[in-house]
Amino acid sequence: MDKELLEKCKQRLLEEKSKILERYFEKEETQQRLGEESKEPRDWEDIGQITYTEELLDSLSQVEMATLKEIDYALEKIDKGVYGICERCGEEIPEPRLCAIPWTRYCAQCAEEVEKESGTFMPYYGIDMYSPDNIQVEREDIGEA
């Protein structure tokens, strides 16, 4: 991998890390504010909304924290000189993939295999499947214009 691409990926990783940390601190402030608001007597709808918002922020935080760990791991791989190498097949990960997901551990083919093995694979059906020509709506309350 050339130094220019390596530096580009490192910058992108650091930028993404900074964004995640910024969102995390904003989330912490929001949760603190929600905690203070929930101490005041409210109706059930307000309590439900606060609870929902707290749960949503927490789940987003878990996803972002996992991404943050992957970013730190990728930065560590840069320091060790093994960044951009697929951990499954040992081949170099193509530049477009690294630019799209700079913290990736696998080339696209190996990532697909790992997803199939872990049960998280979502096959691509193509955009044509969802074109307006393929959609049929059968409702009695709607007539043709």
All structural domains of the chain with their residue ranges: 3-125
Which among 21, 16, 7, 19 has a CA at the least distance from the CA of 103?
A: 16
Which among 139, 81, 98 has a CA at the least distance from the CA of 11?
A: 98
Residue 84: what pLDDT? Answer: 95
- Transcribe 61-84 into DSSP letters: HHHHHHHHHHHHHHHHHHHHT-TT
Mean per-residue pLDDT over the chain, rounded: 79
Give the model confidence (pLDDT) of 83-128 as tens digits.
999 999 999 999 999 999 999 999 999 999 999 998 887 766 655 5
The answer to whether 97 and 46 have CB atoms below 8 angstroms apart is no
User: In CATH, which superfamily holds the domain spanning 3-125?
Assistant: DksA, coiled-coil domain (1.20.120.910)
